[in-house]
Homo-oligomer: A and B are copies of this chain.
Amino acid sequence: MPAKIKTKPNLSVTLAGIKLKNPVLTASGTFGYGEEFADFVDLNKLGGVIVKGVSLKPIAGNPPPRIWETPSGMLNAIGLENPGVDVFINEKLPYLRRFDTAVLVNVFGYSLEEYVGVVERLDGVSGVSGLEVNISCPNVKAGGIVFGTNVKAAFELLSAVRKATKLPVIAKLSPNVTDITEFARAARDAGCDGLSLINTLLGMAIDVRCRRPRLANCTGGLSGPAIRPVAVRMVWQAAKAVSLPIIGMGGIVTGEDALEFILAGATAVAVGTANFVNPRATLDVLDDLERCLREQGVGDLQSLIGKVSVG
């Protein structure tokens, strides 16, 4: 085993031009707007916060039941409930501004125009470090086809978003595709500054007694440790395909889980479902990650990005 080192390893990374004091972020929709975790996590300690998805207008979300537990994971169909970008800016952002941490705003819409609208609204707003664009939404104007599962639609959407803001744009890819690298390249060609993956896998569970789906929405997004192997694989494929920095996520619970993503090619990682199980998960991952580096005698996390040796 390599010699341990005493000195604190350097965990800071730069992602899409955003300086992060460490690579541990919060996955969108699993950490609210930060305030919910005030009792557990000092946000100053995190590399950054990716907030719950924000849309141009408020969205009430889906009827319950919205969640269901699955083996080592969970299904959710929240329906992107959120108070809308204006309430976000006026009531949620001020709290986040108080902390010395990067704030990435996850944005979405149900048409290209809605995406552009929310992005323009956030442009130049102080306290916003960058945008994470959730492209796993149906385009209601194009028969509900999901932007993130059609390369052309994804490219057009991301190009429009890119033009609409000066902020760093990170494309959050959907894993429900045949070839993730097509979408990674589309995001690069659209001028995006980084990638975020993976979003949830489309899943379904059925209550065998009343013979109905467990979720009122029928299908939902699968997250948690169960999907980690798929997520690591896609991050690895995307990292080989494009040189954009990547935020890796999907089932991260420990520092070693995070390190898997970094070795696969992620510059930063996001902790999602684990926050529900353990509200201190982000900090635990961070401590754990630092311990791993010390144990391995690694002085700078950067030196590990994409360093998995294949074959």
Residues of A within 8 A of B (CB): 1, 70-73, 75, 149, 176-179, 201-206, 208-209, 211-213, 218-219, 222, 224-230, 232-233, 236, 251, 256, 259-260, 263-264, 292, 296, 304, 307-311
Q: Is the CB of B205 within 8 A of A72?
A: no
Q: Main secondary structure on chain A at its contact with chain B?
A: mixed
| Cβ-defined contact, A203 with B226, below 8 A | no
Does B149 lie within 8 Å of A204, measured CB to CB?
no
Query: Quick one: copies of this chain in the complex?
Result: 2
Closest beta carbon of chain B to A158's beta carbon, Å: 17
Closest residue of chain B to A295 (Cβ to Cβ) is B209
Contacts of A149 in B (CB 8 A): 178-179
Q: Which 5 A-B pairs have the closest CB atoms?
A: A203-B229, A71-B225, A226-B226, A72-B72, A71-B72
Is there an interface contact between B263 and A208, defined as CB atoms closer than 8 Å?
A: yes
A211 to B71: give the CA distance in the assembly, Å: 28
Assuming the contacts A178-B149, A178-B177, A226-B226, asked whether A260 and B292 have C-beta atoms less than 8 A apart, the reply is no
Q: Please tell me if the beta carbons of B219 and A233 are within 8 angstroms of each other in the complex.
A: yes
Known A-B contacts: A212-B308, A225-B226. Give 8 more (CB < 8 A).
A1-B209, A71-B72, A149-B179, A201-B230, A205-B228, A206-B259, A206-B264, A211-B309
CA distance A19 to B310 in the complex (A): 47
Compute how far the CA of A224 lies from the CA of B205 in the bound complex, rounded to whole angstroms.
15
Cβ A211 vs Cβ B308 within 8 A: yes
A263 to chain B, nearest CB (A): 5
Known: A71-B72, A71-B251, A203-B229. A218 touches B311 (CB 8 A): yes
Docked Cα-Cα span, A225 to B263, in Å, equals 26
Measured between beta carbons, the chain B residues less than 8 angstroms from A307 are: 211
